[in-house]
Structure 1
Amino acid sequence: MGQYWKLINFDKWLMVFSRGVKTGQFICSLDGVPVLDFLVVPDLKDALSPKSELARTREYNVASRLVTLPQEIFDAIVTELPHIEDILSLALTCSYLWRVLLPNVKYSIEVIEAPWAGDRLIFVGDYARGFPPNCKDYENENMPEIEMDPREGITPEAVDANPLYYGINYSLSSGFCIEELMKGRAGDCPDIQLLLRLVTMLRSHPGSQRPGVLRNLTKQQYVLDSKLAESKYPYSLVEAIVVRTRWTWDTSDADGVDDWVGDCFDIRSIEHVPEGWTDVSDETINLIGDAMIHFTRDPDLEGFKLTSRQVEYARAWVK
């Protein structure tokens, strides 16, 4: 009968809700597609302004008391700001502070638009036990608080044995865009539209195709979305994560494929793939193919196939 699976973010202690509980079902159900939006790091222009431009805008905004503060005091204020929205609001105070805080602004945009970038992801099976070697953070009973629903029949013993499968019960929710985040703090103020215009100017390729390279930051490997699109298995990049991060003690069901378990990922444009990294697109496509062949041979899942509409939806995120 095989085992059931969940895609989890170990660092955020979140799971991806799925209607498909076996590997092939998860791939075909496309429930993992929203993860892509959480991994795509936006391409932004250089966040440093020339000294001459900083001097000019400082002189223009010298009436502001913030501008005249000693640099160490201003840096201390920025350090104490508790929320990303506060950084962005301060940057909108005047043109000088916008330029001074551009590195902070750039980082804030990346955190808002790619909240899972750099996190450890695992496709965990219900036969798994304990933690993968590179995910030992919670072994000393320092786990996040777990709320168990007695109606689900999950026992404390099951959580202790397989904490990644049974202990994570909060699902991935929809992310925030910059406009929504700012409105939640400041209401419908004119500065939001100014912020959106300035952020658009920061983007290297506004309105163009989104980045299409899955980067394994731990192994220094990558998968090209363009190669997936041209293959017999035109799924999205999240399936590349699924077939290479399976964690279970029953290796017969996962073909022993666990070389990316607990690794850190993001999605960038090809310009952000450093020289010397390894293209593993072809072998990843083969692994997706193996998973689908195994899936279609399961007599209990006859007829559970990907439709052309599902393929179109899965690929729409890069348009």
Structure 2
Amino acid sequence: MGQYWIFVNLDTRESRDCGKLREFVPFSHSGSVSGWLLTMLLPPAIEPKLDELNDRISRRATRSRLGGDLGRLNIPTELLYMIFSELDCLEDVACLCIANSALWVIGFARVLELVKKHPAPWEGQRLIFVGDYTEDLPDGLLKPEETQEFEKFSTFYKFAYERYTESYRAYGKWGFSRPLRWNEREAFGLLAYPGILGYSGFEYSSSYYRDRKWLLCNLSKKEYVRSSKILDTVADAIHLGDVLLSQIFCSTHPSTSMCYEGDLHRGAWAGDCFVVWSVEELEQHEKKDGTWKDVSEEVLKTVVEIWRSERGPKWPEDQT
């Protein structure tokens, strides 16, 4: 029959009831569990809609008109850049940007800087899927205070289900001293809460998920899987989110409701901490922290076996 599974982010105390494995594991599409996981780990990026809006405003506020658009704030552009550089809050930058098109043009670069500096929502946090037949957990997974809290429950599945909140991230709330036109409110929302920094339902483009530069890095074990290896092996049939999904299941019982006969329920990375870096970022970290291990080939071998057990031996060639 198979057991039920719940996703848990131990550090944010978030959870998500996912059902049985066969209901969500062999799927890599818009709205899938694996896509959601990868979205929460990818470096934040702005939405295409914001890029389009910036193009329109930039064309309207050409550099030759910047001074005239500023009115009483007609001060050297260099000083305005300095003012924006002192702002570290996206909401503050957004408020200035929507004041007029000239300030938007000057401040938009600061928005991009702040988004790039912002960590992914789940960067460096302990992630795990726990089955409802689970009677043990990876050694050292829980902090002392978490262990004490968990002891009041018969299983960790029940503990997470009752004590951790359903994973959801909504746009921040804001208010203004004067009513804003709908286009001003939309512009503010796109600037202040771009992409996944705004809400959990956000999805990046397929090309962003599958960019060859990305590496799924296990911070706990100093191992990584290359997106380029996935593309070279199975093209765009899966992405790094599917790899992560296949490695973080934890249960005492092997019941998975799937055809795969391996130890999917004893994920080698269950409860570990993760980050998605570019190849260049990993090289920088290796210079400071020492060598990391590329486990792309061995991990992908397992992932392909899992998917073919459900989709057929010729997957992905014959996928429909």
Structure 1 residue 121, shift from structure 2 partner: 0.9
Q: What SS does the corresponding residue of 1:16 show, helix, strand or coil?
A: strand
Structure 1 residue 172, shift from structure 2 partner: 3.1
- Residues 174-216 of structure 1: per-residue CA shift (max 9 Å, x gap): x56xxxx4785555474974896899xxxxxxx9942432222
Structure 1 residue 239, shift from structure 2 partner: 2.0
Instruction: Say how many residue pairs are matched.
Output: 252
Runs of 5+ consecutive residues of structure 1 not aligned to the other structure? 45-58, 68-74, 144-155, 200-206, 297-302, 313-319
Conserved? CA contact 1:121–1:263, under 8 Å: yes
- Residues 126-182 of structure 1: per-residue CA shift (max 9 Å, x gap): 222354323326435457xxxxxxxxxxxx7445x5456544664333x56xxxx47
Aligned residue for 1:243?
A: 246
Alignment of 1:31-110 (within 5 A): 31-32=32-33, 33-42=35-44, 60=76, 85-86=91-92, 89=95, 105-106=114-115, 110=118
Work out whether 1:139 is the aligned partner of 2:139: no
Runs of 5+ consecutive residues of structure 2 not aligned to the other structure? 47-74, 195-204, 256-261
Alignment of 1:153-232 (within 5 A): 157-159=153-155, 162-163=157-158, 166-167=161-162, 170-173=165-168, 181=171, 184-185=174-175, 188=182, 190=184, 193=187, 209-210=207-208, 211=211, 212-232=214-234
Q: Which letter maps to 1:171? A: E
For 2:298 and 2:17, the matched residues in 1 are separated by: 27
Work out whether 1:289 is the aligned partner of 2:286: no
Q: Do the aligned partners of residues 123 and 162 (structure 1) sit closer, same or farther apart at CA in structure 2, a change above 3 Å counting?
A: closer
Aligned residue for 1:129?
A: 135
For 2:78 and 2:234, the matched residues in 1 are separated by: 61
Conserved? CA contact 1:39–1:117, under 8 Å: yes
Q: Do the aligned partners of residues 227 and 17 (structure 1) sit closer, same or farther apart at CA in structure 2, a change above 3 Å counting?
A: farther
Conserved? CA contact 1:214–1:222, under 8 Å: yes
For 2:166 and 2:137, the matched residues in 1 are separated by: 20
Q: 1:26 aligns with which of 20, 24, 27?
A: 24
CA RMSD of aligned residues (A): 5.1
Aligned residue for 1:11?
A: 11
Question: Percent identity, aligned pairs only?
Answer: 23
- Residues 54-95 of structure 1: per-residue CA shift (max 9 Å, x gap): xxxxx848999x97xxxxxxx9xx89x8xx635754798979
Q: Do the aligned partners of residues 15 and 86 (structure 1) sit closer, same or farther apart at CA in structure 2, a change above 3 Å counting?
A: same
TM-score calculated relative to the size of structure 1: 0.56
TM-score calculated relative to the size of structure 2: 0.56
Q: Do the aligned partners of residues 29 and 14 (structure 1) sit closer, same or farther apart at CA in structure 2, a change above 3 Å counting?
A: farther
Structure 1 residue 117, shift from structure 2 partner: 2.3
Aligned residue for 1:280?
A: 295
Structure 1 residue 226, shift from structure 2 partner: 3.0
Aligned residue for 2:55?
A: none
